[in-house]
């Protein structure tokens, strides 16, 4: 086969033969992709919810457009009619591009595995504690593996150049020494990275956990190698170093379960009929979609100089629903007191003594 190609190449100008090889590699890569992708897409359509084939198409579609022509061109390099210097340059460029592509293949494969695990442990359910725990570990491990793949790929590329070989070898063998040096130079960054390991496996926080941190209520949106992003209720993003969650106290409302008790405090006059308010709370919660039907309690929790403190306690499936239900109960209870017992709203008493007037 090679001898036949060499014989044909000798009948054509060198530049034309090289152009034909490049075009052949590109066209063959496109042809393989045109045949392969529809077959995979057909299997993906046949599967309803999650599809490994659909995930493969989404992750590898663009990469295959580069990888397949590169592999074909690399296999045809022995029959190319470059001069010695041009052949060396072409081979080196192809080698570097293949290293980059195969690094991307490993990264995309990790992404495909991540898609499967996300489907297997779906957090879109009411009690998703186990799923959030596993997804938190998945995200951290994926980011760590991607960083390792990138470092090793750069080292392999450097090792492929004679004048860069020492640098590449140093990059591979000097990780420990470099880590010590970096540790002294950037102790906070290293501390954040180690804190990331601790959080990924001990898990004081997880993805989608509801936190009270720095006086703000929000959900954990991202856990990166060195920082955490908390999505505040008003759509602001609070970005904190991951070490923060090791060193400082914070509230985690969903540490052991997604279920949560919602609390509403109401301050009224001493004359308010507590039992009627208790009955009203029960009627408001019965049949409400946000209430899980387990806890509905109204109690007098404090008597102050001028007011009586009532606490409405209700259970919900998750923190987001608890927030909405608390707002609803707060509005309805105040409206009920205002219309039914206006004289029992919180007020300050002033007594005039006519004997001294």
Q: What pLDDT digit, counting tens, does each position of 212-226 carry?
A: 888 888 888 888 877
Look at residue 13 and tell me whether its pLDDT is greater than 60.
Answer: yes
Rounded to an integer, what distance in angstroms lies between the CA atom of residue 357 and that of residue 352?
9
Domains and CATH numbers, the chain: 1-160 (no CATH), 209-252 (2.30.30), 260-341 (3.30.70.100)
Mean pLDDT of 226-247: 86
The pLDDT of residue 127 is above 70: no
Strands 237-241 and 251-252: unpaired
CA distance between the termini of the chain: 123
Q: What is the DSSP string of 49-71?
A: S--HHHHHHHHHHHHHHHHHHHH
What is the average pLDDT value for the chain, to the nearest integer?
78
- pTM of the predicted protein model: 0.51
pLDDT band at 349 (very low <50, low <70, confident <90, very high): low
Q: Residue 125 phi/psi, 5° resolution?
A: -145, 165
What's residue 185's pLDDT? 45
Give the SS3 label for residue 291: strand
The crossing angle, in degrees rounded to 10, of helices 14-46 and 52-76 is: 170
CA–CA dist 8, 2 (Å, integer):
10
Which residue in the block uniquely carries the two structure tokens 């590329």?
Answer: 157
**The pairing of beta strand 260-268 with beta strand 251-252:** unpaired
Which of the two residues, 183 and 238, has the higher pLDDT score? 238
Give the integer Cα–Cα distance in Å for 241 and 225: 9
Please provide residue 52's backbone torsions phi and psi, each rounded to the nearest 5 degrees.
Answer: -65, -35
Q: Phi-psi bin for 13: left (phi > 0), alpha (psi -120 to 50), beta?
A: beta
More confident residue, 257 or 264: 264
pLDDT tops 60 at residue 343: yes
Q: What is the pLDDT of residues 71-105, one digit of tens each?
A: 877 777 777 767 777 777 878 888 888 899 899 99
Two structure tokens written together for 102 = 């195969």
CB 240 within 8 A of CB 230: yes
pLDDT at 14: 67
Q: Is the pLDDT score of 159 beyond 50?
A: yes
Mean pLDDT of 292-321: 87
Task: Convert the pLDDT of each residue in 310-332 to its tens digit.
Answer: 999 998 887 778 888 999 999 99
Q: Which residues contact 258 (CB under 8 A, 6 or more apart)?
A: 126, 127, 128, 129, 317, 318, 319
- Ranges assigned E (strand) in 214-250: 216-223, 227-232, 237-241
Residue range 200-215: mean pLDDT, rounded: 81
List, for residues 28-68, the tens digit of each pLDDT value.
Answer: 777 777 777 676 666 656 555 666 777 777 788 788 778 88
The beta strand positions in 122-178, using DSSP E, are: none
The answer on pLDDT for 278 being more than 90 is yes
Closest CA to 149 of 81, 84, 215, 100: 100
User: If you average pLDDT over residues 140-155, what whole number do you get?
Assistant: 85
Asked if 309 and 302 touch (Cβ cutoff 8 Å), the reply is yes
Residue with tokens 């793949």: 149
Q: In a 3-state reduction of DSSP, which class is residue 47? A: coil
Closest by CA to 116, choosing from 62, 47, 68, is 47
**pLDDT attached to residue 332:** 93
Cα 250 to Cα 102, 212, 216, 217, 243: the distances in Å are 43, 6, 10, 11, 13
**Which whole number is the average pLDDT over 202-231?**
84
Q: Round to whole Å and give the CA distance between 9 and 2.
A: 10
344 burial (CB, 10 Å; 0-12 / 13-18 / 19+) is: middle
Percent with pLDDT over 90 in the chain: 16
> Residue 174 CA to chain centroid, in angstroms?
31
Alpha-carbon separation of residue 175 from 85, 170, 182, 197, 226 (angstroms): 35, 8, 10, 18, 19
Does residue 136 have a pLDDT over 50? yes
Q: Return the pLDDT at 351.
A: 66
Is-contact 148 231, C-beta < 8 A? no
pLDDT over 80 (residue 202): no
Residues 6+ apart with CB under 8 A from 182: 189, 190
Would you state the structure tokens that stand for residue 238, as one six-digit string? 């609070």
Whole-number percent of the chain with pLDDT over 70: 73
Range from 126-135, 155-164, 269-278 that averages highest in pLDDT: 269-278
């Amino acid at each position: 086969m090679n001898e036949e190609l060499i014989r044909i190449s000798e009948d054509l100008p060198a530049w034309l033969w090289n152009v034909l090889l490049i075009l052949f590699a590109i066209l063959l890569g496109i042809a393989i992709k045109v045949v392969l992708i529809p077959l995979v897409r057909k299997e993906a359509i046949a599967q309803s919810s999650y599809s490994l084939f659909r995930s493969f198409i989404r992750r590898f579609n663009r990469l295959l457009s580069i990888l397949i022509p590169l592999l074909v061109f690399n296999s045809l390099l022995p029959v190319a009619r470059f001069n010695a210097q041009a052949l060396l340059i072409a081979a080196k460029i192809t080698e570097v591009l293949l290293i980059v592509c195969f690094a991307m293949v490993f990264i995309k494969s990790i992404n495909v595995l991540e898609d499967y695990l996300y489907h297997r442990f779906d957090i879109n359910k009411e009690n998703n504690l186990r799923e959030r725990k596993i997804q938190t570990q998945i995200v951290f491990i994926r980011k760590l593996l991607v960083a390792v793949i990138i470092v090793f790929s750069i080292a392999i590329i450097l090792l492929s150049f004679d004048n860069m070989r020492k640098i590449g070898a140093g990059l591979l063998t000097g990780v420990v020494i470099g880590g010590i040096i970096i540790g002294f130079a950037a102790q906070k960054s290293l501390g954040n990275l180690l804190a990331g390991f601790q959080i990924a496996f001990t898990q004081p926080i997880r993805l989608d956990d509801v936190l009270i941190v720095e006086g703000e209520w929000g959900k954990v949106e991202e856990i990166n190698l060195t920082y955490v992003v908390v999505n505040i209720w008003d759509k602001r993003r609070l970005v904190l170093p991951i070490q923060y969650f090791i060193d400082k106290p914070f509230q985690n409302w969903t540490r052991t379960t997604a279920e949560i008790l919602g609390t509403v405090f109401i301050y009224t006059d001493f004359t308010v009929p507590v039992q009627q308010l208790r009955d009203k709370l029960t009627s408001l919660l019965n049949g409400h979609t946000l209430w899980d039907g387990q806890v509905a309690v109204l109690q007098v929790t404090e008597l102050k100089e001028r007011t009586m403190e009532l606490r409405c306690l209700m259970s919900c499936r998750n923190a987001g629903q608890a927030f909405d239900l608390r707002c609803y109960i707060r509005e309805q209870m105040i409206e009920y007191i205002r219309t039914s017992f206006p004289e029992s709203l919180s007020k300050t008493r002033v007594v005039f003594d006519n004997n001294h007037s």
